[in-house]
Amino acid sequence: MVAADSAIPSFRRNGNGFEYVFPFAKQMFGERLGVIILRIDGNQVAQKMKFFNDLENRELYMVELLDKDGEQLWASHSAEEFPELTSQELESGYLEKDGLSIITAKSEKLGLYYVLVLPVKESLKELATMKNIVLLLMLSAIAVGITMAVVQAIRKGKPVDEALQALTPAGEEPERYANLGTAVTEIVKRHEDVLREVEQNKLSLKKTFFDDLLKAEFSTEAQLRSGAAKAGVDIDNQIYQTAFIQLFSGNDFISVDEQTMNEIRVLSRLMKNHLREICGNNVWFHKKDYNSEIAVFAIDNMEEDVYDIIRQTREWVMQECQIEITSGIGGTCNNLLLIWRSMEEARIALENCTRENPVVSYRVELVKSDEYYFPPIAESKLEESIQSGQWQEAKDILALLETENCVNRKLRRTQFIKLNQKFMDVLGAAWNKEELQNDAFWINEILMQPKIAQQEYFQRMRHLYRKACNFNVEKKQEQKSRMVEEIKEYIRAHYCESDMGLAKVGSQFRVSESYLSTLFKEQSGGNFGDFLETLRIEKACMLLQDRTITVNEVAEEVGYNSVQSFRRAFKRVKGVSPKELRGSET
């Protein structure tokens, strides 16, 4: 027993290592009976410090452990001496002293200071080397630029000014620079920013595309292809498969605080990054809720099976994060407009996951075979297809519903009648109710039979849905035709106004200029501008018959801002100038 009155544990030096001394007694404040001593060998400490192992052969580095009073407990012996440090310097975290860079960290629990020391010139050596390389490259670039400038100057004069003019948007003055090096640096920086912005925009467009896809926001193939083209996503000749992934499976969070939400976000990002490392650009994600993700895989570009990838990812998450995840995997899909079907299958598979079987692929046996299948997303998409007159999309959805309800399930009469009610509700929301009432009896003939002929039922249902699509197409055509006639009447009444054009008419009828232009050409067979120009020129011909009115006054009267524009338009429509027309009428 050493220092029997000592009651506070402490560290002390011992050879090339140090000791942790812990006095003990029978009672809290009783007589000290002895001490427990933990001896720590310096070589063992060095082996535990992995970062130090790489440096120990270089005598320019030193590592120290100091007690709370700044007394040295252990040193690495990689440097000959260590500077004396005050308590303020030990608390600073980083300082430079006597040509040394000193980094300190304190253990609040043990009261120890960990100190790493290295010469300033050595710590900056690699940075200086990099700086010299960059400087050399810059000087080389400037030398090449000056050489090119001299050659071009001999040929054409001021190549830098010409280049700046070419890179400056039309109508703006090019910026002036003191020298070529500054000009090149600024131009490169500007274009790097533009390229970075374009890349970020591409990623944002791609994310938006897949979010809209999984929310079934695309109603037609044209909309789908347009969105894919903007996002730079190739959707031709590809097969897709979805996986519904849930973190913290088995936990029912009644309320989730902000800290938990942040932890889930971090874990979710780690999981997605791991999947991207495996699949590259062949996987995309859509957040379903705070702890669930939908993953979409382009499987025809992948070597591994989705099931194996998800199992591998689950094991990685378990090892790295110690959390449970479950995943349901949907079937394959080669029509992205119907990707919701694979997502629905993945949801059903997820509901069948257990602790023993945490990753489940969809199969027909998982569904309740005596209940009809008509998910809300199918109902919504079917209604949209009818309202927009997209028969092919409606036909594809009907085929899926027929397969699921008539092949994969065995519905009782009561369930089939409920299914029929769903079909009729969709028709009622998207079609003329009078038309629907007339055809409802035709459908009921099937339902009133002792045994429902399901194939005949769906045949008749397809007929009704196609009829509804055609009805809405004709209705839309009538509305478009009527709208164009109203637009023409508006133009006839206001053609003489100088601001008459697509913008003004579009604002009046609350449509975009591009839609107005397309609609006008589709319904009338001619361009909006040609129609307006012809009206103005015909009126001008009538006014030109009155020789008391000048050509300038005629141009202003029919809506032209300048007589030159009027003369060009007149020549284009009539083949002669206004003056020539007057001369021919003499």
Both tokens of 292, joined, read 């669930």
Give a yes or no: residue 320 inside a domain: yes
Mean pLDDT of the 43-67 span: 61
Give a yes or no: residue 107 inside a domain: yes
Cβ count within 10 A of residue 261 = 13
Same domain, 463 and 513: no
**In DSSP terms, which residues pair with 295 in a beta bridge?**
243, 285
**Confidence (pTM):** 0.48
Give a yes or no: residue 1 inside a domain: no
Both tokens of 443, joined, read 């459908």
Tally the domains of the chain: 5
Q: Do 322 and 248 touch, CB atoms closer than 8 A? A: no
Same domain, 241 and 348: yes
Residue 11 three-state SS: strand
| Residue 40 pLDDT > 60 | yes
The whole domain housing 99 covers: 41-121
Same domain, 245 and 360: yes
Fill in the amino acid letter for 426: V
Q: What per-residue confidence (pLDDT) applies to 135?
A: 64
Q: What per-residue confidence (pLDDT) applies to 285?
A: 87
pLDDT digits (tens, 9 = 90+) for 387-439: 888 888 889 889 988 988 888 888 888 888 899 888 888 888 777 666 666 67
d(CA 118, CA 99): 9
- Backbone angles phi and psi of 240, in degrees to 5: -120, 155
- Backbone angles phi and psi of 199, in degrees to 5: -65, -45
Same domain, 340 and 397: no
Residue 441 three-state SS: helix
Name the pLDDT band for 249 (thresholds 50, 70, 90): low
Give the residue from 411, 400, 468 showing the smallest Cα distance to 434: 468
Give a yes or no: residue 216 inside a domain: no
Same domain, 263 and 312: yes
Mean pLDDT of the 28-52 span: 68
Fill in the amino acid letter for 432: N
| Residue 128 pLDDT > 70 | no
Same domain, 242 and 359: yes
- Among 91, 121, 151, where does a domain finish? 121
d(CA 231, CA 215): 16
Same domain, 132 and 111: no
Name the pLDDT band for 87 (thresholds 50, 70, 90): confident
d(CA 535, CA 410): 67
Place of tokens 């050489």: 147
Give a yes or no: residue 551 inside a domain: yes
Domain harbouring 70, CATH code: 3.30.450
Give a yes or no: residue 303 inside a domain: yes
| Residue 167 pLDDT > 50 | no
Same domain, 130 and 108: no
> Mean pLDDT for the chain?
77
Place of tokens 């007339």: 438
- Among 86, 104, 121, where does a domain finish? 121
Domain harbouring 570, CATH code: 1.10.10.60
Same domain, 339 and 266: yes
- Among 201, 222, 252, where does a domain finish? 201
Give a yes or no: residue 167 inside a domain: yes
| Residue 115 pLDDT > 50 | yes
Same domain, 248 and 358: yes
Give percent of the chain with pLDDT exceeding 70.
Answer: 72
Domain harbouring 303, CATH code: 3.30.70.270
d(CA 38, CA 111): 16
Same domain, 255 and 318: yes
Q: What per-residue confidence (pLDDT) applies to 483?
A: 92
Give a yes or no: residue 130 inside a domain: yes
For 281-304, give the DSSP string: GGEEEEEEETTEEEEEEEGGG-SS
Contacts made by residues 210-215, CB under 8 angstroms, sequence distance 24+: 210/284, 210/285, 210/286, 210/296, 211/286, 213/296, 213/336, 213/339, 214/242, 214/286, 214/294, 214/296, 214/339, 214/340, 214/343, 215/286
Name the pLDDT band for 157 (thresholds 50, 70, 90): very low
Kindly report which listed range (43-52, 100-109, 348-357, 505-514) carries the lowest average pLDDT score.
Answer: 43-52
Same domain, 151 and 79: no
For 49-87, give the DSSP string: -HHHHTTTTSTT-EEEEE-TTS-EEEE-SSSS------H
Q: Do 253 and 260 touch, CB atoms closer than 8 A? A: yes
